[in-house]
Amino acid sequence: MGGYGDASGREPSGGRAVAVVGMACRLPGAPDLEAFWELLREGRDAVTDVPEGRWTLPHPAGGDGAPVADPGTRRGGFLDDVDGFDADFFGISPREAAAMDPQQRLMLELSWEALEDAGVLPGKLRGSRTGVFTGVMADDYATLARRLGPEAVTRHSVTGLHRGLIANRVSFAFGLSGPSMVLDTGQSSSLVAVHTACESLRAGTSTLALAGGVNLNLAAESAVATSRFGALSPDGRCFTFDARANGYVRGEGAGVVVLKPLDRALADGDVVYCVVLGGDVNNDGATDALTRPSAALQAEVVSAAQRAGGVRPADVGYVELHGTGTRLGDPVEAEALGAVFAATRRPGEPLRIGSAKTNVGHLEGAAGIVGFIKAALCVSRAELPPSLHFEHPNPAIAFDTWGLRVQREVEPWPGKGRRVAGISSFGMGGTNCHVVVAEAPPVQAARLVGDQPEDGSVVLPFTAKSVRALRAQAGRLREYLERWPDAAVGEVARTLVTRRTAFEHWAVVAAHDPAQALDALHALAEGSPHTALTTGTAATPPGKLAFLFPGHRPRHTH
């Protein structure tokens, strides 16, 4: 079950290797993919105190009561702007947008961003067999809506609050005709969504797939329930595999990846983050209690995923743990990994392990996609960032016997062979998922048509749906060029023209050098004129946008 390719990138009999060609995320302390990688590499903890007014229980007599005071509910990983949404961009009325679960809004935005990251114009997917697979286990916004009573129900309430529509909303907005589903397997939901998407690509029921998960902690009731279940750390941290492990801290956010058959990605010259080699899903079955994990069944799902992908335990250099930091869960997960890997690890070469939950908290239904994106970045960038809050090894974990080592600092990928990683995600009801990813095979890049001008000049054309959005895009582009001063501006220009949707508001920066280009972008972001800047408005709806750059310098207007 679940074979997508082997460790060499070759397709096994009856299987199809799957490439990760685009990614996007919005996480605590990390509004985008690059910020997430920086947060990981720098070893930052994005957990904070609960934002004022976020978690208050309703008073029996009406209105909000006192803030939640249960153990573990005073801290968490939170997004800065959970309310923000450009409804007009997606053609959604203000009233309908207000009735929509913010989880729907966030998945719309990240799906668009992930497709752009993959170089796929969303408009060209209309009518295609593109699948949408979303892991979700919570619907806090529905809880908040119900507090308002029946008089607050509108014609948009059903479509806005129904959890199953989180995936369907993306399919509708982009005109996608492939499978569209929300999967709820508890905390393993979003990794199961990735696995299911790969299976769909393998079977041919999808030609392209958007897979991911979302989790927003909006209602005090969910925080209280998790605390009284006994899952939360009173210290408000995930002490993964540490002796202080006493529960997890909740996190929120979302992630989306774009998946494509590897053969198509190679033929198209796509940038491939990594290749999904195999995966598997099982359940713990009848343990001592409904939520008690099974080391034997966790070990089996890891082994099955490796068999599916043609991978040996000795090939794996890193495993992104489920790693919740609970007294029961950590030793069981460690024992399971030991059963799979211990016999294959040579002295001095333990299996590196870590958990992004120590950085951003446990995103529950979206936890798996966070771990998947982290592992994909590690594999593609050949580095391992630190797992936080590990100071005193848990005495219940036999690290040396089981050949395990928690990653505590930024280091190059261990070993010289092909980079292979595993990702684990386990649901509290026993649904376990493990996926194996590997370094992508060499890809023949598509021919570039935007070479750097010999005279050092910079030409950057871009468009947006509104003047406000155009200014915001100028600001983001300036930040990117400042962060990556060695970026080939010709390739950046090519990307802006060929890999971005053309909208009616446009701008062209035609500068003498990079410094003047940055000044012009800053001016546009601030709404000011600049000699190197030209702006305008195309017909609505816009047709194909073309830019002509003659051999001599154009005149500059503003």
Let me know if residue 402 belongs to a domain.
Answer: yes
Cβ(366)–Cβ(214) below 8 Å: yes
Within this chain, do residues 238 and 371 fall inside the same structural domain, yes or no? yes
User: Looking at the domain assignment, is residue 383 inside a domain?
Assistant: yes
User: Quick one: pLDDT at residue 64?
Assistant: 62
Residues 431 and 480 placed together within one structural domain of the fold: no
C-alpha 44: how far from chain center: 18
CATH code, 491? 3.30.70.3290
* Token duo for residue 236: 């408000």
Q: Which helix (H) or strand (E) holds 174?
A: helix 165-174
Whether 22 maps to a domain, the answer reads yes
pLDDT at residue number 451:
53
Q: 556 in a domain, yes or no?
A: no
Asked if 422 and 473 sit in the same domain, the reply is no
Are 18 and 264 contacting, i.e. CB atoms less than 8 angstroms apart?
A: no
What pLDDT score does 558 carry?
37
- Helices marked H in 42-132: 94-99, 102-117
CB–CB of 222/68 below 8 Å? no
Among residues 389, 423, 438, the one where a domain terminates is: 438
pLDDT of residue 463: 84
Structure-block tokens of residue 390: 């590990």
The contacts of residue 268 (CB under 8 Å, 6+ apart) are 446
Those residues of the chain that have pLDDT short of 50 are: 1, 6-15, 445-450, 550-558
What pLDDT was estimated at residue 60? 63
- CATH code: domain of residue 214: 3.40.47.10
Instruction: Tell me: do 375 and 512 sit in the same domain.
Output: no
Asked whether the beta carbons of 250 and 361 are under 8 A apart, the reply is yes
pLDDT digits (tens, 9 = 90+) for 506-516: 888 888 888 88
Same domain, 399 and 484: no
- Are 431 and 503 in the same domain? no
Q: Is residue 108 part of a domain?
A: yes
Structurally, the chain folds into a number of domains equal to 2
Judge if 385 and 512 occupy the same domain.
Answer: no
Tell whether 332 and 388 lie within a shared domain.
yes
Residues 427 and 478 in one domain: no
Distance CA 335, CA 331 (A): 6
Sequence letter at residue 107? M
**Are 46 and 148 in a shared domain?**
yes
Query: Would you say residue 267 lies in a domain?
Result: yes
Within-domain flag for 120: yes
Say what the pTM is: 0.87
Residues 527 and 424 in one domain: no
Share of the chain above pLDDT 90, in %: 70
- Write the DSSP string, 287-310: -SSTT---HHHHHHHHHHHHHHTT
Q: Are residues 423 and 532 in the same domain?
A: no
- Domain span including residue 513: 466-537
Q: Is residue 523 part of a domain?
A: yes
